[in-house]
């Protein structure tokens, strides 16, 4: 991945950043980072906004535009939407529910297989994140302050489908709870469809 693409990746996974912050992460000069940022801005992939973080001059933060987010995998969103509408038209909401259930069962079987040899909750969440990452969710795990775990998904490859049928999101939350087992609770702390930058699941040991 070249430096320009690394900048897009960091903005996708870490949210808005200043040129100075990106320069520090990529071992660049601030001018070098700004040159890449302005290049992406000219192509319509980035925008910027000034924020008054501290006393003094506002800091300029850079963030992905809709076109910038579209650079990441979307699992052929247009085709997916067409297929969902056809299922709904031909078989009604009951047919759509069957489709969601089939996907849910398939995902659950895959995750159970991946988590089968995980002795601890930390291991289970790590393997679940790895599986989700391989599916295009740009997933990672971070510890929370209270000892809980955060399963963070920086990208949603089925976002277009979830917008027209939120059963997909409900289904995923239920699958996570079942495969991680009764020793924890799973809550959605941030939701892309509710306007958040990403989806975050709070996993608390019981």
More confident residue, 69 or 44: 44
In the predicted model, is pLDDT for residue 156 greater than 90? no
Mean pLDDT of 14-26: 91
Instruction: Tell me which of 30-39, 44-53, 74-83, 90-99 is least confident.
Output: 74-83
Q: Note whether 90 and 180 are same-domain residues.
A: yes
Q: What is the model's pTM?
A: 0.70
Q: Note whether 150 and 103 are same-domain residues.
A: yes
Give the three-class secondary structure for 71.
coil
* Rounded distance between C-alpha atoms, residue 49 and residue 61, angstroms: 5
Tell me which residue range forms the domain holding 87.
77-205
Q: Note whether 52 and 103 are same-domain residues.
A: no
**pLDDT tens digits, 114-140:** 999 999 999 999 999 999 998 888 999
Q: Note whether 50 and 135 are same-domain residues.
A: no
Q: Note whether 122 and 172 are same-domain residues.
A: yes
Q: Note whether 24 and 84 are same-domain residues.
A: no
**pLDDT tens digits, 78-119:** 656 677 778 778 888 888 888 878 888 999 999 999 999 999
* Rounded distance between C-alpha atoms, residue 8 and residue 29, angstroms: 17
43 CB neighbour count, 10 Å cutoff: 12
CA geometry: angle at 173 spanning 168 and 179, to 5°?
A: 120
Q: Note whether 108 and 182 are same-domain residues.
A: yes
Q: Note whether 59 and 141 are same-domain residues.
A: no
pLDDT value of position 90 = 82
* Rounded distance between C-alpha atoms, residue 69 and residue 179, angstroms: 30
In the chain, beta strands by DSSP E: 17-18, 46-51, 59-64, 139-143, 149-153, 184-190, 199-205
- Out of 15-29, 68-82, 85-99, 160-174, the most confident range is 15-29
Q: Note whether 64 and 87 are same-domain residues.
A: no
Q: Note whether 35 and 81 are same-domain residues.
A: no
Mean pLDDT of 158-175: 73
Q: Note whether 102 and 157 are same-domain residues.
A: yes
Report the candidate in 154, 149, 157, 156 with the shortest Cα–Cα distance to residue 125. Answer: 149
Give the three-class secondary structure for 141.
strand
For the chain, the domain total comes to 2
Q: Note whether 51 and 151 are same-domain residues.
A: no
Please report, for the domain that includes residue 89, its CATH number: 3.30.1380
């Amino acid at each position: 991945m070249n430096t320009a693409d690394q900048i897009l990746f960091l903005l996708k996974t870490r949210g808005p950043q200043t040129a100075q912050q990106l320069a520090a992460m990529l071992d660049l000069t601030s001018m070098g980072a700004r040159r890449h940022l302005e290049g992406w801005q000219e192509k319509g992939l980035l925008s910027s906004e000034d924020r008054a973080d501290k006393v003094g001059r506002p800091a300029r933060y850079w963030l992905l535009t809709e076109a910038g987010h579209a650079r990441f995998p979307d699992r052929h969103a247009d085709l997916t939407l067409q297929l969902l509408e056809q299922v709904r038209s031909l078989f009604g909401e009951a047919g759509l529910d069957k489709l969601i259930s089939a996907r849910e069962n398939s995902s659950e079987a895959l995750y159970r297989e991946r988590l089968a040899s995980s002795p601890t909750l930390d291991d289970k969440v790590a393997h679940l994140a790895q599986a989700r990452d391989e599916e295009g969710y740009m997933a990672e795990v971070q510890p929370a302050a209270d000892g809980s775990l955060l399963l963070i998904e920086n990208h949603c490859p089925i976002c277009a489908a979830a917008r027209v049928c939120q059963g997909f999101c409900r289904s995923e939350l239920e699958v996570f709870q079942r495969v991680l087992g009764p020793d924890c609770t799973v809550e959605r702390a941030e939701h892309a469809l509710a306007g958040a930058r990403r989806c975050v699941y709070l996993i608390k040991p019981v």
